[in-house]
Amino acid sequence: MDFFEKFGEKFDSFLSSKVKKSKNRVLVKLQKHIKENWSQGIVISSKGKNYVVEFNENGQRKLTECMLSGTVEVKHQHRTLITVGDIVFFVAPQLGTDGKEFGRIVYVADRPSFLMRKSILGNHEDIIASNMQQVMIMFSAMHPQYNLRMLDRILVAVEYGNLETIICINKIDLVDLNLLKKDFQIYEDLGYKVLYISAKEGIALNAVEESLGGKSTLLTGVSGVGKSTLINKLLGMDIQKVDDITRSRRGKHTTTSSRLFHKGEDAIIVDSPGFREFEVWGVPKEELQFYFRDFEPFFQKCKFQPCSHTHEPKCAVKSAVLRGKISHERYISYVSLFESL
């Protein structure tokens, strides 16, 4: 299957908006640039300063390690030049003067979708992965307990990055499910899909499989929520054994970069390193309101336009909060995010 086809409708609509519709529309558009010795691939992980690129040769998936070429054509607008999920063109490995063989990435395609956050190590962007159709945001019912404020921040990043959402709550074996569901009812009411599972006990894993089938999904979550347990069950293998791992000072295994896996013929799962904090990055302050879907029926009715929905009088959003049409908690999330941007 062609790499571009795997990304489904989102990639199609992105491409068709820019190029002629034809079966070979990607190549039609790129013919001007593409040189005969360029191959198309997808970045599946990073390895130090290099990247592992998967490509298709005679219907077979192959891997090659690539470095970034000295001149590279980059079609996206981000600072992060390459991330897992990127569609790239590369020149096949040639033996260098140092005796090492690496392919060279010469072209990075635009990103119809991405998950961006503030880097942990400073004030800049970190793109966890690109070109996925959906993000599965994983939390656990306990140990560690979910954080709805953080969920709201991740949801903003997900909506900003043009991704669909699945909220997945793990470790339901540890709590009263009805009480747990009450906390997430508001997200279900907003149209988000919420799954309640136990990766360890094998509860509702079929619902997860169903949600991932035929799609490309980025799996993200706080460390300790059970992401590795779930991925190992889904893929039927111990990913820590096949993944690049490092031993942190505490002696716990942690993945260092996102990594793309295939599940069967038609599903793609990107596992990303567990984090402790998630901060939004790149969203312009005045756009924040667009990523709170519960504000949508109201924000155009505010007296002042534009309205930040914080201090202005006759604000339809604030009035909706007072009337219980928008959850108070969601509004607090909005205000604290607004102040942080």
Q: Applying CB under 6 A, which residues contact ligand GDP?
A: 170-171, 173-174, 198-201, 221, 223-229, 274
- Work out what residue 171 binds among ligand GDP, Zn ion, none; the CB cut-off runs from 5 to 8 Å by kind: ligand GDP
Nearer of residues 27 and 174 to ligand GDP, judged by Cβ: 174
Interacting positions 285-304 with Zn ion (CB under 5 A): 302
The rounded distance, in Å, linking the Cα atoms of 337 and 199 is 32
- Work out what residue 170 binds among Zn ion, ligand GDP, none; the CB cut-off runs from 5 to 8 Å by kind: ligand GDP
309 binds Zn ion (CB under 5 A): yes
Among 42, 167, 315, 320, binds Zn ion (CB under 5 A): 315
- Work out what residue 309 binds among ligand GDP, Zn ion, none; the CB cut-off runs from 5 to 8 Å by kind: Zn ion
Amino acid type, 128: I
- Work out what residue 112 binds among ligand GDP, Zn ion, none; the CB cut-off runs from 5 to 8 Å by kind: none
Cα first-last separation, the chain: 41
Give me the least distance between CB of 328 and Zn ion, in Å please: 16
Give me the least distance between CB of 162 and Zn ion, in Å please: 25
Nearer of residues 90 and 184 to ligand GDP, judged by Cβ: 184
Which of the stretches 66-74, 200-208, 305-313, 322-330 binds Zn ion when contact is defined by CB under 5 A?
305-313
- Work out what residue 173 binds among Zn ion, ligand GDP, none; the CB cut-off runs from 5 to 8 Å by kind: ligand GDP
Is the dihedral angle over the CA atoms 108, 110, 116, 121 positive or is it negative?
positive
Give me the least distance between CB of 153 and Zn ion, in Å please: 21
Neighbour count for residue 235 (Cβ, 10 Å): 16
321 binds Zn ion (CB under 5 A): no
Residues of this chain that interact with Zn ion (CB under 5 A) are 302, 307, 309, 315, 317
